Amino acid sequence: MENEKEKKEMLVEDYALVLDYLPKGKSTSFKEEPIAQLVGEKYFTLLEVVPKGELKAMERVYIGKEERDKVLFIKKRINYAELTSAAQTELENAVKKIVEENSEKFLKFYNEAGPITIRRHQLELLPGLGKKHMQDIIEKRETAKFTSFEDLAKRVPLLPNPKNAIIKRIIMELQETDLKHYLFARPPKKERQPFKRY
């Protein structure tokens, strides 16, 4: 139990980007209150919050444990399917912005990713990357670490756009609920199984 609590503590988001703001909430809700849907900057956690005032799409808001200036409280964690169509449309822009503003973190993946099993490597989980790309990346990074996405693309010929591969993988991790491996995003919340009735 303690371990489970520690795991949750480790996955706490401090900042998030606004994907959608609904001044009157969802039409399906019985209570009319403004809500906003956000994506966390660190673990790409999808959240529904009650804001203190109007929020704009792509606005960066603090959602950590200290006093929050724009968010009243976090209602719940949500899955991709629960996002509004506007939030789903905005998601790729938000993920792209987060990846670009934290490029060192994602470049570190190319510099340090390792094998998952004897036959499978973490690099192969990126869309468009196969065994040949993986071997080229490992070979080149042993000579010298990659210093930027541009450096990586230049030193590994025929590699699909390395930044886009990361963005696509993150979107995939947010959309699909039954992936075996999650490299960047917090795995989606599991629906609670109802008690078996007798």
Instruction: State the pLDDT at residue 162.
Output: 96
Higher pLDDT, 122 or 26: 122
pTM of the model: 0.88
What's the pLDDT tens digit per position in 61-72? 999 999 999 999
Domain harbouring 131, CATH code: 1.10.150.280
Q: Could you give the number of structural domains in the chain?
A: 2
Same domain, 54 and 109: no
Same domain, 71 and 111: no
- Residue 27's H or E segment, with its range, is none
Instruction: State the pLDDT at residue 168.
Output: 97
The single-letter code of the amino acid at 12 is V
Read off the pLDDT band of 26 (50, 70, 90).
confident
94 assigned to some structural domain? no
Instruction: State the pLDDT at residue 1.
Output: 40
Same domain, 6 and 76: yes
Calculate the alpha carbon distances from 99 to 44, 57, 71, 161 in Å: 11, 17, 24, 13
Residue-range definition of the domain harbouring residue 155 = 102-175
